[in-house]
Amino acid sequence: MTFGVKFEADSGDITEHPHDDKPRPYLCTVCGKRFTTNGHLKRHKETHTTEKLYSCTQCEKRFYTMCSLSSHMNVHSSKYKCTECGKCFSKKQDLGRHRRSHSGEKPLECAVCGKRFADSSNLAHHMRIHSGEKPHKCPTCDKAFSESGALNTHMRVHSGDKPYKCSLCDESFSRSGNLETHKRFVHSDSKPYDCYYCRKLFKTSGDLKRHVLIHTGTKPYSCRHCSECFTRNDQLKTHLLKKHNEGTCLTCHTCYCNDVDLRLQLWG
């Protein structure tokens, strides 16, 4: 099965090849990334638009560029398929990195702390921990990010863009993870996460993690004013309000009262 014109990924992207020394004279004025060719720069600039114009005909995903869509279609054609687990990828290099998850191979080592990585992109991201580098800056509020993907997601705060639309209702979301969570909670009875201790089932990994604290007795949320500790963050918030009267005072626009109970309702 074919899916039309094929494009190569932006091989000129500096984040894809952090260790080479190719000249990259083409600068993106939005995020500061550099590229080897003007063509790579033009395709990259499309990622800064607020609308994903290119949609996959096989699934619900949408993309900023035709290049990204074309790479994605390789997943449906099973062009780059792992022979170990059957998982499919959009690019050959992604399949190569994935194969290392089966072999356990981590050929790249951090020169600062010695931690090892399976691919260069993960190593490059890790190195920013040591340097504090955040090269991807928001042109609207100047907030900076270490990864371009985080910047793209952040930009939706300003644009209000919600490209991930539920196929079962009218809800839309700014993040794909939020859409998946919505489908699991609202449109599915599936509970894939089970507790090791009591085998109780949960819809999300977060719900499972919070539940496990009951069995382990761990109370990671501690009060800054006293020695009280809690298993959940909402319990700590309630404690801070009732015992220490801590929190922003909010007023009800119907009766113009402002008290602890009102703040608890709004926070909950």
pTM for the complete prediction?
Answer: 0.35
Residue at a domain's end among 77, 101, 121? 77
198 CB contacts (<8 Å, ≥6 apart)? Answer: 215
Could you read off the pLDDT tens digit of each residue along the chain, which spans 268 residues? 433 333 333 444 444 444 456 788 888 887 778 888 888 888 777 777 667 778 888 887 888 778 888 888 988 888 998 888 888 888 888 888 788 777 778 888 888 888 888 778 788 878 877 877 788 889 888 888 877 888 888 888 898 898 889 988 999 998 888 888 888 888 888 888 888 889 899 887 888 888 888 888 888 888 988 988 888 888 888 998 888 887 654 434 444 344 444 444 444 4
Q: Which of 173, 205, 194 lies closest to 62 in space, CA to CA?
A: 173
Residue at a domain's end among 77, 100, 124? 77
Position 235, amino acid: Q
Residue at a domain's end among 53, 77, 101? 77
Tokens 């998946």 locate to 180
CATH code of the domain covering residue 19: 3.30.160.60
Q: In this structure, what token pair is assigned to residue 175?
A: 């993040």
CATH code of the domain covering residue 225: 3.30.160
Residue 235 in any domain: the answer is yes
Domain range for residue 70? 1-77
Tell me how many helices (H) and strands (E) the chain has. Answer: 9, 16
Q: Count up the domains in the chain and report the number.
A: 2
Tokens 């015992």 locate to 243
CB 47 within 8 A of CB 64: yes
> 3-state DSSP call for residue 155?
helix
Residue 147 in any domain: the answer is no
CA angle 70, 44, 127 (to 5 degrees): 105
CB 33 within 8 A of CB 15: yes
